[in-house]
Amino acid sequence: MQLNLLESFAEFKEFKNVDKETLMAILEEVFRNMIIKKYGSDENFDIIINPEKGDLEIWRNREIVKDGEVEDENIEVALSEALKVEDDFEVGEELSEEIKLESFGRRNVLSLRQNLAGRILDMEKDALYTKYKERVGEVVTAEVYQIWKREMLLVDDEDNEVVMPREHQIPGDFFKKGDTVKAVVAAVELRNNTPRIILSRTAPEFLERLFEMEVPEIYDGLITIKKIVRSPGERAKVAVESYDDRVDPVGACVGMKGSRIHSIVRELRNENIDVINFTENEELLVQRALSPAKITSMALHGDTGKAEVYLKPDQVSLAIGKGGNNIKLAGLLTGYDIDVYREDDEVSEDVELKEFSDEIDEWILDEFVKIGCDTARSVLKLEEEDLVTRTDLEAETIREVMSILKKELDA
């Protein structure tokens, strides 16, 4: 019976998420509860446990009293009984006797074993929940164990079970049993007191962690990812900003000949990733967000959250993108509801500002481009006072520029 109980020690010490000290405390507590149940108290008992060897000893300590003066057999023993153990005991000394597990009865021992296993299992579940709760947002690697219609079961490097629901898998993903999968810990739930760890490859955080792993400047904090929007497996837009003027955030993320971003694209099943330079200038941000399309002009309505964007006919399809992904993601990135108009439908002929470089100094033209105005009509749509406020140009200079632009358009 003792061996039957102690065999389980080898199993208990293998529990992954319970440290040795906690395990020992649980073992002792369970045994003490059994002692209290039989003897009424455990104060005079010593429990010695060595899970490594499977050793378990229970010792009862009782005070030796004169024959006929025993009031509580649990804490006192008659001198005549003590002398049977050793012939030199005296009244007032302490007798320590080992209590065998068999004395508790087979039913109590089996109940103890079940209680022990249940307590440790609950402790392991709590430890697993806490461990992964702290890892939400981190990338983990797990091995595919079983594939179902709605989700996939995986095991991590410590054989903990985790799941990846179908909606958290990239449409181009195809895995089979034994494959290694990289994903981010999206959430940790408790179902019937059992932790359910959910991994995701579609979450924006997964793409963010991949950039941190591939781009040292992001990991070191020189470059910050301001926002990520994704249509998993199709397209993603990543707005980045550098706090060091010497570091080009877009160039650092893309890498030499695209070396850094290519490894991320491969991991995401050839998802197109647009890395754009973040700016507080909303017009310029919308313009960059609609890349690769080139905008002729735009009108932002902050009060309604609408953006009217005008493009040449050959740029419209680029702005909208396959399945409308490009314009949808641009809207999510900028916070504007973007409406696209063909230039020939809404606007008469326009002229790019760079065409006026013979008449207007280039540094002046650059001031207009900085605020998202790169055509004559986009400048003339704005009020003079507005242009004075938003550029570093004098009112007289702006009036002169507007006059030149208007003459050209009228012509």
* pLDDT score for 68: 86
**Average pLDDT, stretch 290-311?**
90
Q: If one looks up domain 208-278 in CATH, what number appears?
A: 3.30.300.20
- CATH: 1.10.150, 1.10.3470, 3.40.50, 2.60.40. Which one for 353-410? 1.10.150
* pLDDT score for 2: 47
Hey, what are 273's tokens? Answer: 């990733």
| Mean pLDDT taken over the chain | 87
**Average pLDDT, stretch 55-76?**
87
* pLDDT score for 53: 62
Question: Given a cut of 80, is residue 18 above it in pLDDT?
Answer: no
Domain 142-202 has CATH 1.20.1260.10: no
The CA distance from 153 to 207, in Å, is: 22
**Average pLDDT, stretch 72-82?**
88
Fold match, 142-202 / 353-410: no
Residue 129's contacts (CB-CB under 8 Å, 6 or more residues apart) are 188, 190, 195
Annotate 327-341 with DSSP letters as a single string. HHHHHHHHS-EEEEE
Residues 284-299: tens digit of each pLDDT: 999 999 989 999 889 9
Domain ranges of the chain: 2-131, 142-202, 208-278, 353-410
3-class SS of residue 376: helix
The CA distance from 396 to 123, in Å, is: 76
The CA distance from 328 to 333, in Å, is: 9
Domain 2-131 classification at class level: alpha beta
* pLDDT score for 347: 47
Question: Given a cut of 60, is residue 14 above it in pLDDT?
Answer: no
CA 175 to chain centre: 22
pLDDT grade for 1, boundaries at 50, 70 and 90: very low
Other Cβ atoms within 10 Å of 289 Cβ, number: 26
**Average pLDDT, stretch 98-103?**
81
The answer to whether the pTM exceeds 0.85 is no
The backbone torsions φ and ψ at residue 194, rounded to the nearest 5 degrees and listed phi first, read -115, 125
Other Cβ atoms within 10 Å of 158 Cβ, number: 9
Name the pairing type of β-strands 180-191 and 337-342. unpaired
Query: Which single residue is written with the structure tokens 């990338």?
Result: 139
Residues 128-165: tens digit of each pLDDT: 899 999 999 999 999 999 999 999 999 999 889 999 99
